[in-house]
């Protein structure tokens, strides 16, 4: 995507390159690190990551006095507890995607984490502060380098998946018509991202500074990887190193309310945080390693059979066996 795609674990220079697999990032110094006191044994059983956030049990958020902070490598949770609580009263269990914390047998926190953690880098200790006795929990992120976690204490809310706009692509393979794909776009949740895609489909925002139409018409799918995704949107260079948004070269991440959970989702390609342009991809299945790194902003409403045909033309390297072209595109009228 010069925008992010699988580059065998590496991001090509100048490319929005989606990675198929999570890649460990070098650790970034944290300054004065907390003392690793009261490390607890961890249960190592695998836990299927469901998409709920960590939630407080038994006590309300105000009663817990719960606060949290993150940096690029760690998340810290501070929870108020009773002054007579000792370390022997606390039970702490962490899986890669789930945490349970009990005090005197009473569940204080239990639930699924927003992202995976390195269990060997997770620990807790008791701390006496001016606000009383606190349980301080440190969680080491499995993928470092980004302050990407949502608040683990926020109540679970469903993002607004109302379809506010529809757009279409007419596709051709090897110069022969393939079929029409219609997308539904989530404009209430991600209005800026949706407007960018809508306008590039409609071609109603003029030209780039260099005189190239801001339009997907004639654009190719330059990268297709079976079981992963099909990537397009580079209307300036056609190889994953170009493209431009209607707002300028790049625009910032608007948010990550949706996960990559199924085939047919429409998501923005990028080359890192806040580098969205015009490139996008369509998923061929769930891609959880892209969650909170790429913005899902729509879905295929019809024509999924043609998307599946694209998958057959791809390869593990991303190269395609035949040229796939967006021969026409636009916005579907609201009354259709």
- Torsion, Cα of 15, 312, 302, 221 (10° steps): 30
Active-site residue identified among 228, 258, 284, 297: 228
In this structure, are residues 154 and 53 in contact, taking their beta carbons and an 8 Å threshold? Answer: yes
Residue of 164, 176, 158, 155 lying closest to 111 (CA atoms): 155
Active-site residue identified among 265, 270, 276, 287: 270
**Spatial separation of the C-alpha atoms in residues 135 and 301, rounded to whole Å:** 48
Q: Pairing mode, if any, of strands 296-302 and 263-268?
A: antiparallel
Active-site residue identified among 197, 280, 281, 297: 281
Active-site residue identified among 198, 266, 294, 313: 294
Active-site residue identified among 80, 198, 215, 223: 223
Q: Enumerate residues 6+ apart whose C-beta is below 8 A from 160.
A: 186, 188, 189, 257
Catalytic-residue membership of 270: yes
In this structure, are residues 40 and 260 in contact, taking their beta carbons and an 8 Å threshold? Answer: no
Catalytic-residue membership of 15: no
**Spatial separation of the C-alpha atoms in residues 122 and 77, rounded to whole Å:** 11
Catalytic-residue membership of 294: yes
Catalytic-residue membership of 228: yes
Active-site residue identified among 64, 290, 310, 313: 290
Owner of token pair 């799918």: 221
**Spatial separation of the C-alpha atoms in residues 228 and 205, rounded to whole Å:** 31
**Spatial separation of the C-alpha atoms in residues 65 and 316, rounded to whole Å:** 49
Catalytic-residue membership of 231: yes
In 146-227, at which residue ranges do the beta strands (DSSP E only) sit?
165-173, 176-185, 221-225
Active-site residue identified among 16, 20, 231, 276: 231
Point out the residues that are catalytic: 223, 228, 231, 270, 281, 290, 294
């Amino acid at each position: 995507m010069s925008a992010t795609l699988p580059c065998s674990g590496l991001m090509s220079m100048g490319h929005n390159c989606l990675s198929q697999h999570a890649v460990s990032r070098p650790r970034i110094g944290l300054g004065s690190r907390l003392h690793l006191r009261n490390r607890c044994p961890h249960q190592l059983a695998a836990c299927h990551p469901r998409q709920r956030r960590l939630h407080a049990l038994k006590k309300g958020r105000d009663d817990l006095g719960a606060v949290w902070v993150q940096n690029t490598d760690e998340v810290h949770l501070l929870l108020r507890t009773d002054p007579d609580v000792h370390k022997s009263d606390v039970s702490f269990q962490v899986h890669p995607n789930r945490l349970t914390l009990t005090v005197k047998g009473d569940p204080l926190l239990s639930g699924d984490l927003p992202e995976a953690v390195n269990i060997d880098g997770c620990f807790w200790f008791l701390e006496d502060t001016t606000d009383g006795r606190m349980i301080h929990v440190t969680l080491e992120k499995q993928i470092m380098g980004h302050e990407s976690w949502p608040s683990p204490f926020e109540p679970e809310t469903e993002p607004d998946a109302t379809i506010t706009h529809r757009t279409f692509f007419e596709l051709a393979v090897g110069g022969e018509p393939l079929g029409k794909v219609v997308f539904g776009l989530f404009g209430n949740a991600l209005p800026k991202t949706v407007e960018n895609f809508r306008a590039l489909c409609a071609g109603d925002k003029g030209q780039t500074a260099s005189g190239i139409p801001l339009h997907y018409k004639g654009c190719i799918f330059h990268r297709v990887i079976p079981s992963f995704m099909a990537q397009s949107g580079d209307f300036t260079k056609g190889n994953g190193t170009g493209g431009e948004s209607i707002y300028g070269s790049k625009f910032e991440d608007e948010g990550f309310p949706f996960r990559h959970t199924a085939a047919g989702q429409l998501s923005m390609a990028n080359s890192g945080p806040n580098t969205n342009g015009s490139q996008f991809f369509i998923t061929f299945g769930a891609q959880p390693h892209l969650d909170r790194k790429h913005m899902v902003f729509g879905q295929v409403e019809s024509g999924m059979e043609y998307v599946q045909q694209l998958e057959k033309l791809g390869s593990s390297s991303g190269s395609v066996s035949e040229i796939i072209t967006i021969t026409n595109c636009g916005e579907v009228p609201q009354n259709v």
